[in-house]
Amino acid sequence: MSFGRARCPPHPLGMSNFGSKGASLVTDIAQSEKGTIPPYNDELARAVVDESQEHHRSILKLIGDIQKTGASLDEARPDDAASILVHHQAVLRNKRALLVYLNERMSRVRNLRWEIGTGLPEHVAENLSHSERSFFTQYAALVNKYQGRRGGVGLNLTLDPHPPRDFKVQVKVLEDYGEIVTKDGTVDLQKNTVHLMWRDEAQPLIAEGVLEKLDDH
């Protein structure tokens, strides 16, 4: 049986440009300065999505033309099968590019909470998309809830973001606080005295400004 060749509509960019917009999107974030968030490239991101949808329509057109001949996809002409594969790989490439772009931006948005707190400066906010600003607000609220005393751990995790090397820390008392009961017994926290305390017991008092963690030597 002879099948007529199924042709997909001409692509406005040409076959040689498949995936170029996705690559440009990744380059946009990769070349930006680490620790900063460049303006969200909405125009290019939408262009990548539109291109992917166009590839998808081309795939459906090719499959439809093949099926109209009464043939199965397994019986498709090699050049038609190759065209479907090229369009499919272009969709996958664009998807990966979008995920890389969005994931890197979201990672930087999360870091903002630990670097600047809950307030989003205007010059930073204007570079974020609406979804990114919403994500920051929700993420900051979750961090605050986790750090809170009610239902949380009661620790300000931003004070000591690095993993502890020891379970005990040396602290200096900044103001008279009186006696507290610790795992090792009663400790009298008098101003300017130095103590070796369990990290989890000292951290809340460090957060309150009662204690100061001394540098490890």
User: Strand 194-198 and strand 168-173: pairing?
Assistant: antiparallel
pLDDT tens digits, 195-213: 999 888 898 899 889 999 9
At residue 103, the pLDDT reads 94
Q: Give residue 161's pLDDT.
A: 65
| Model pLDDT, residue 8 | 42
Show the tokens assigned to 38. Answer: 């460049």
Task: Phi first, then psi: give them for residue 178, nearest 5 degrees.
Answer: 95, -165
Work out the average pLDDT over 44-70. 90
Spatial distance between the Cα atoms of 51 and 190, rounded to a whole number of angstroms: 68
Q: What is the mean pLDDT of the chain?
A: 84
Quote the distance between the C-alpha of residue 204 and its chain's center. Answer: 29
Residue 4 has pLDDT above 50, yes or no: no
Sorted by sequence, the CB contacts under 8 Å of residue 205 that are 6+ apart come out as 171, 177, 189, 211
| pTM across the whole model | 0.64
β-pair partners for 185? 182
The residue that leads in pLDDT, 145 or 39, is 39
Q: How confident is the model at residue 9 (pLDDT cuts 50, 70, 90)?
A: very low
Dist CA 42 CA 105 (whole Å) = 13
